[in-house]
């Protein structure tokens, strides 16, 4: 959520607190507001009004002891005022019921976590499957449409329109905000897992925490993944997802050296990885494997495990990794999987084999703005001696990269290649 601008001298402290609350509790607040009305758009509007009110009130009166409770109270009143103004159907009684549900009925000063219920509401069969994950990312985790659009290789305008239509559908269809019964829950689980992982991936791309939009997303996503494991402890894909995220998170600090420069996986020191996270990921993956049902997130976790083993033992295992990518592509084919498979193929069979594998995707519009594709293509072209094409691909990758450290890494590679031509 992006807060409106203001006079930094007058409201700097209030704005800082409001932004911290937005990062920490946006999803909880929207979930609570949406639970009774089933109107996500109205909940978001009311919450935006509450944040605007906070920026006006807090610099004058001081920040309240419980900022979340203050925001919820104001948002509920704004939602009620809006419902009274519109007088549509049962909206007013619904808003009145919502106002009667106070935060402190659960525990003093705490916000009950209703995000899982909202996540599953966003996977209702009445909603188009393609919009469920983007909707969850916006409603539950507070990502803006432009950020979501980037993750899904789509234009911000198109994504915004689809999100608006989905919110209208929730209201018009009266979709319930509740965790489904267990028989129906597993049928809707895939979209929830995908949303949680997409949120984690967005946070992962901002390792130094400099982007307010994505800050704290990894922690939120890990928390939601743990909730899903507790909800479905015998579901192999929930175990696989949490294992995958822990494998990645275990080496988060190793991605930068002391000077802040990007360090690729192949150059990282395994001794700097978080051993307890790796052990937890190994245990989760073993639990998932014992259930004898293969899924996307288990395979992705297995790939991470294989990379960890190779880096720790210095024993090449590219044949095993390519086989895992083959299995993943068979059940979850996508251009992103194809790019990662090609990089593994290059290590096993050489760069030309990887380029041949990527040839069918050269004109795929979904990869036009996908930085890892251009970075991979640049490296492969350089390795087969196609220097001019490689330099052009590096240029595109550099232009698309948001992380300054990764951009510098790519610029150095491009400069080294240019110097040899």
pTM above 0.75, yes or no: no
Q: What is the pLDDT of residue 82?
A: 65
Q: What is the pLDDT of residue 118?
A: 77
Task: Note the pLDDT tens digit of each residue in 189-216.
Answer: 888 898 888 878 877 776 554 554 555 6
Assigned token pair, 381: 């072209």
How far does CA 165 lie from the centroid of its chain? Answer: 21
Give whole-number Cα distances, 419 to 211, 391, 408, 412, 416, in Å.
Answer: 34, 11, 16, 11, 5
Q: What is the pLDDT of residue 394?
A: 96
Assigned token pair, 103: 């935060």
Q: What is the pLDDT of residue 76?
A: 78
Q: Go through 241-254 and write b for each residue having 16 or more CB atoms within 10 A of its CB, e for each that does not.
A: bbbbbbbbbbbeeb
Q: What is the pLDDT of residue 4?
A: 55
Q: What is the pLDDT of residue 5?
A: 53
What is the gyration radius of the CA atoms in the chain, in angstroms? 23
Q: What is the pLDDT of residue 206?
A: 63
Q: Which portions of the chain are predicted below pLDDT 50?
A: 10, 87-112, 209, 212
Task: Note the pLDDT tens digit of each residue in 235-278.
Answer: 999 999 999 999 999 998 899 999 999 999 999 999 999 999 99
- CATH classification number, 329-421, choose in 2.60.40.10, 1.25.40.10, 3.40.710.10, 3.90.1150.10: 1.25.40.10
Q: What is the pLDDT of residue 108?
A: 37
Q: What is the pLDDT of residue 72?
A: 79
Average pLDDT of the chain is 82
Give whole-number Cα distances, 63 to 11, 18, 55, 293, in Å.
Answer: 11, 9, 10, 51
**d(Cα 117, Cα 186) in Å, to the nearest integer?**
14
**d(Cα 324, Cα 228) in Å, to the nearest integer?**
25
Q: What is the pLDDT of residue 287?
A: 96
Asked whether the beta carbons of 273 and 248 are under 8 A apart, the reply is no
**d(Cα 41, Cα 45) in Å, to the nearest integer?**
6
419 bridge partner residues: none
**d(Cα 34, Cα 398) in Å, to the nearest integer?**
41
Q: What share of the chain is helix, strand, coil (3-state, %, to 5)?
A: 75, 0, 25
Asked whether the beta carbons of 145 and 163 are under 8 A apart, the reply is yes
**d(Cα 217, Cα 209) in Å, to the nearest integer?**
10
Q: What is the pLDDT of residue 214?
A: 53
Q: What is the pLDDT of residue 378?
A: 97
């Amino acid at each position: 959520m992006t807060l409106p601008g203001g006079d930094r001298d007058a409201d700097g402290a209030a704005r800082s607190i409001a932004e911290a609350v937005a990062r920490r509790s946006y999803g909880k607040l929207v979930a609570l507001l949406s639970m009774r009305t089933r109107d996500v758009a109205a909940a978001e509007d009311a919450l935006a009004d509450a944040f605007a009110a906070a920026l006006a009130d807090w610099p004058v009166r001081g920040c309240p002891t419980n900022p979340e409770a203050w925001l919820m109270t104001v948002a509920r009143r704004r939602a009620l005022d809006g419902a009274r103004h519109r007088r549509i159907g049962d909206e007013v009684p619904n808003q009145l019921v919502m106002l009667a549900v106070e935060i402190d009925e659960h525990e003093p000063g705490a916000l009950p976590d209703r995000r899982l219920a909202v996540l599953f509401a966003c996977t209702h069969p009445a909603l188009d499957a393609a919009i469920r994950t983007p909707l969850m990312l916006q409603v539950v985790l507070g990502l803006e449409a432009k950020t979501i659009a980037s993750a899904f290789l789509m234009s911000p305008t198109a994504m915004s329109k689809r999100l608006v239509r989905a919110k209208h559908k929730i209201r018009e269809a009266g979709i319930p905000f509740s965790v489904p019964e267990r028989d129906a829950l597993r049928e809707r689980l895939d979209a929830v897992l995908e949303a949680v992982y997409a949120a984690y991936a967005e946070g992962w791309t901002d390792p130094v925490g400099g982007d307010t939009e994505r800050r704290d997303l990894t922690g939120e996503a890990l928390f939601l993944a743990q909730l899903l494991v507790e909800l479905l402890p015998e579901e192999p894909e929930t175990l696989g997802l949490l294992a995958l995220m822990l494998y990645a998170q275990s080496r988060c600090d190793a991605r930068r050296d002391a000077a802040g420069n990007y360090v690729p996986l192949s150059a990282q020191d395994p001794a700097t990885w978080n051993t307890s996270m790796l052990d937890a990921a190994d245990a989760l993956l073993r639990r998932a494997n014992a259930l004898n049902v293969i899924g996307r997130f288990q395979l992705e976790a297995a790939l991470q495990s294989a990379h960890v083993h190779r880096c720790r033992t210095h024993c090449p295992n590219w044949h095993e990794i390519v086989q895992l990518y083959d299995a993943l592509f068979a059940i979850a084919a996508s251009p992103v999987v194809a790019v990662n498979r090609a990089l593994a193929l290059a290590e096993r069979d050489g760069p030309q084999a990887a380029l041949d594998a990527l040839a069918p995707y050269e004109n795929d519009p979904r990869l036009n703005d996908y930085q890892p594709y251009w970075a991979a293509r640049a490296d492969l072209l350089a390795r087969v001696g196609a220097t001019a094409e490689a330099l052009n691909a590096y240029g595109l990758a550099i232009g698309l990269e948001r992380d300054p450290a990764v951009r510098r890494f790519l610029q150095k590679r491009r400069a080294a290649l240019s110097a040899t031509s």
